[in-house]
Amino acid sequence: MKPTIMATACTAEWVAKPRDVSRERQLAQALSIHPVLAAVLVSRGLNSPAAASAFLSPSLDSLHDPFELPDLAAAVDRLLAALEGGEPILVHGDYDADGVTSTALLVRFLTKLGGQVHYYLPHRFNDAYGLSERAVRAAANKVKIILAVDCGVRDHEVIAAAQQQGQEVIVVDHHEPAETLPPGALVIDPKREDSTYPERELAAVGLAFKLASAICERRDLPQRSLQRAFLDLVAIGTIADVAPLVGENRTLTHAGLQVLPHTRKVGLRVLLELCELHEPISARDVAFRIGPRINAVGRMADAHEALALLLADDETEARRTALHLESVNRQRQREQATTFGQAMEMVNAEVDLEGDRVILLARPGWHRGVLGIVAAKVLEATGLPAVMLSVEGEEARGSARSIPAFDIARALAQCDDVLLRYGGHALAAGLSVASERVDELRDRLNELGRAWIKEDDLRPRVHADCEVDFAEVDDDLAAGLARLEPCGEHNPQPLLVGRGARVIEARRVGADGKHLKLFLSAAGCHFEAIAFGHGQEMSWTQPGCELDMVFSPRMDDYGGLPRLQLVVEELKRAGEV
């Protein structure tokens, strides 16, 4: 969460772990890496040469045996029997990027093996959250096997309805299960209480890949071919779903980002061209350019358009679909901006930011598809967990985003007597509630918030890996820190604290002077720096003044000439607390 920055000072506390010079020196010597890179690795708990080396050079050979996942062996047996017997299979996904990429992976893979594969993605407005009863009913007498991916683990009633129709259900899901699993279904979910799989946090697309990997193993098909064919989808779905980029997720996305620029999927090639992306492609590129375009149609309309792009074989059709996704994404941006403005007006008029611990806003006419993003922006602006609901007659539906101190999935579970439906994770959830009970839900969540959230939990903090002397900052450090990519959830961009940089020149750049460009002198060296979103702070960053800053050194190749640049996250006058 980015803290609010005032015009003259940073109000957030900067937290940097003390450096263990002896340990980082040993690690730097053992791996022949920059001492500050070693310091960052130590700060993240990667103390031994073996652990640090494995992190810096993730290998697909280190992936765990997929058969360790619960029910996976039985699912492989059933799917192989279906393939051999010519039984139709329905792949039922979800409308977000993780669900879309999961569905595309399994449809492509099973079809390649000769399967008769149908697919369905729920409509955000025409279907309830999760496995669609409408789709299950429509599939009666057409398919015998339903493969539910990125959904299903809590959909007991719909699965029971499918079983009553004589259908078998295989669930491939990464969401938290209810107290009981759907009876009679095969459930591949590493979050099951009885799961012994070493990784709990795989995205659904990662689990879909593990299922495909296990089928390849049974059929003696080459794993490298599978990886080349599908790790591009795994990288996109994993990053877009904000899954932790450590462990197997890191290994899969690291390899997938290398595959992505060379993808053979016509739709993805067109999408990369539309996004003006070329090798190398970063996790940030996926998170802010590719993912939003895939997500947009699921948020605003019908996610089948995004799936069609990922399944496309015809370039002309793929280009038409990609341009439609672009148009819908722009519509999403406009709707999001309007809704956020209205939400902040309500916060200012209705919310007690001193006494409330959870913000719940409800209003008719809000587009449900943007409420998750807006909830995240309200949280960022206020520091409080945020629930955004669109009131649609007798029912209010929406999304929630939270902070580590307030497990929103657990909180909603304690309010299940008030809710109609809910599901999600500790930091993000979806829910619906009777309109007449919105105020009651707000009171209940705030009661839990006051019990669980301490004052210290709300204090804005900027967490840096370590403090450095500017003499340690050079091109080699920037190149070394780039080895931490892909960066994202649980593996953030490395941040360093530097003190006493003297301003040589400062100017505002970008649209409306939104950003601050700095030329600095420190430790006998000169640095170019950019502070995105800090243009208003030029008033006190005049030549001659000294600054402390939180920054990340990167090699910027804009204009074709690589040069060291400090990307500044926070800054204040030197010595200011």
**Rounded to two decimals, what is the model's pTM?**
0.90
Average pLDDT on 222-245 reads: 97
* Number of alpha helices (DSSP H) and beta strands (DSSP E) in the chain: 19, 18
Nearest to 159 by CA among 209, 255, 233, 90: 90
CATH architecture of 62-321: Alpha-Beta Complex (3.90)
Q: What are the pLDDT digits (tens) for 238-281?
A: 999 999 999 999 999 999 999 999 999 999 999 999 999 988 99
| 576 touches 548 (CB < 8 A) | yes
- The domain made up of 351-458 has a fold known as Diaminopimelate Epimerase; Chain A, domain 1 (3.10.310)
CA distance 60 to 321: 33
How far is the CA of 252 from the CAs of 38, 235, 574, in angstroms?
A: 24, 7, 42
Q: At what angle do helices 315-350 and 304-311 cross, to 10 degrees?
A: 150
CA distance 374 to 342: 10
| 92 touches 150 (CB < 8 A) | no
Domain locations in the chain as residue ranges: 13-20+465-573, 62-321, 351-458
Q: Is the pLDDT of residue 3 over 60?
A: no
- The domain made up of 13-20+465-573 has a fold known as OB fold (Dihydrolipoamide Acetyltransferase, E2P) (2.40.50)
pLDDT of the residue at 2: 33
pLDDT of the residue at 497: 97
How high does pLDDT run on average in the chain?
94
pLDDT of the residue at 559: 67
Beta-carbon count within 10 A of 223 CB: 14
Ranked by mean pLDDT, which of 197-201, 510-514, 539-543 comes out on top? 197-201
SS3 assignment, position 302: coil
DSSP 482: G
Q: What are the pLDDT digits (tens) for 12-22?
A: 899 999 999 99
Question: Distance between terminal CA atoms of the chain?
Answer: 20
Nearest to 166 by CA among 149, 144, 150: 144
**What percentage of the chain reaches a pLDDT higher than 70?**
98
**Angle, alpha carbons 552-558-559 (nearest 5°):** 150
Strands (E), 350-493: 359-364, 386-392, 395-401, 419-424, 428-434, 461-464, 466-467
Average pLDDT on 440-452 reads: 97
Question: Which residue intervals of 351-455 are DSSP H helices?
Answer: 371-382, 408-413, 438-452
CB burial class (10 A; 0-12, 13-18, 19+) of residue 528? middle
SS3 assignment, position 506: strand
89/542: higher pLDDT: 89
